Structure 1
Amino acid sequence: MKIGILSDTHMIKDCIDKTIPYLKECDLIIHAGDNFSDSKYIHNMTKVGIMAVKGNCDFDNVEDELIFDVEDKVIFLCHGDKYNVKYGLDEIEAKAKSIDADIVIFGHTHTPLNLKKDNIIYINPGSVSLPRGVDYKSFSIINLENNNIRIEQIRL
């Protein structure tokens, strides 16, 4: 299964549009918030199923975190602001361990991260519109095949 992961798109359609050719090839798209309305736009442009949460800049009446299974992997999706990810991963790690997550996807920092710690994979795709801490815009694609996880960072 091929999963596209974005966060912190902030309604900048020119930047989002650059991701569409990649995302059309995915089986699922995950959006980690800011802005939730962008997930609807992405779905309309790709016709691919999407899982999305709201971020700290969203006012939609939708979930701010989700836990779901894909290919026998437990995925925890949140924006990250409620777990203070700008100041470290301690709080989100505690949550991940408490729910036996295999993969944690979050945003908020606008800085890409791909880290495996204690058999949990933490992914922040960065931002396709307003990156911080790096000089490139980015999102991620995960390939889940036969219990093998391959993560690719796409730089725009």
Structure 2
Amino acid sequence: MKIGIISDTHGDYKSWEKAWNFLNKTEVIFHAGDVLYHGPRNSIPEGYNPQKLSNALNTCPIPLLIAQGNCDAFVDQMMLDIPIQTPYVFSIIHGKRFMIQHGHNISDEDIHNLIRKYKLDFFVTGHTHIPLLKKIDSCVLINPGSTSLSKREDEINSVGLIEERTVQIIDLETGKDILFLEF
């Protein structure tokens, strides 16, 4: 099992190219939203080119499952051949249960309730642009951070990878682990 986790690309094609170096051998890619638009509160990313990013996503040879973020709108769906699902994506891969939700309108209590109700192995969020790996009971909570608009003090952009029994959050520039968890 090798699964890619990405969020908050915000129309930045250059960051997608960097992320692709880590995602191109995965079985599936989960995107936790905010795909094409940079959002009114964010600066425009250096590699901002939503049309080029939408073309790359449309031709991605790996299945891509996208949860709607707060910056995703109907016009974004017009650019993508891949459905932006709202507000949740639920999937079972290799017997593991995944739920993806952008994270802008869900409480910690709601997350805990969903984990229990759906017996989740992984819950993926985005929105904060800050990477997070945390165990909640037998579930791994993952926020891969942002590929393009990091809110970390060191401004590291990142993606996540799930392989066999580990989860990594990886710095797009260096390829080094920012966070690592065995489950």
Where on the TM-score scale, by shorter chain, does this alignment land: which range?
A: 0.7 to 0.9
Once residues 104 and 40 of structure 1 are traced to their aligned partners in structure 2, the CA distance between those partners, rounded to angstroms, is: 28
Tell me the amino acid that sits aligned with residue 124 of structure 1.
Answer: N
- RMSD (CA atoms): 1.9
Question: Which of 104, 107, 110 is residue 91 of structure 1 equivalent to?
Answer: 110
Report the residue type matching 2:72 in the other structure: D
Contact map agreement 1:80 1:92 (CA 8 A) in 2: no
Could you say if the C-alpha distance between residues 116 and 15 of structure 1 is closer, same or farther in structure 2, counting changes exceeding 3 Å? same
Measured after TM superposition, the shift of residue 95 of structure 1 is 1.9
Distance 1:40 1:77, change over 3 A: farther
1:107 to 2:112 alignment:
no
List aligned pairs for 1:1-156, cutoff 5 A.
1-35=1-35, 41-42=56-57, 44=59, 46-60=60-74, 62-64=84-86, 65-84=88-107, 89-135=108-154, 136-144=156-164, 149-156=165-172
Larger-Rg structure: 2
Percentage of identical aligned residues: 31
Structure 2: runs of 5+ lacking an equivalent = 37-49, 78-83, 173-183
Alignment-mate amino acid for residue 136 of structure 2: K
AA at the equivalent of 1:67? F
Once the two structures are superposed, residues 60-88 of structure 1 have per-residue CA deviations (whole angstroms, 9 ceiling, x without a partner) of 3642211110111110111111204xxxx
Q: Deviations over 1:116-150 (max 9, x none)?
A: 12111100000010011342111101013xxxx21
Q: Distance in 1 between matches of 2:55 and 2:104?
A: 22
Instruction: State how many pairs are aligned.
Output: 147
Q: CA deviation at 1:40?
A: 6.2
How far apart in 1 are the matches of 2:69 and 2:12? 16
SS at match of 1:101: coil
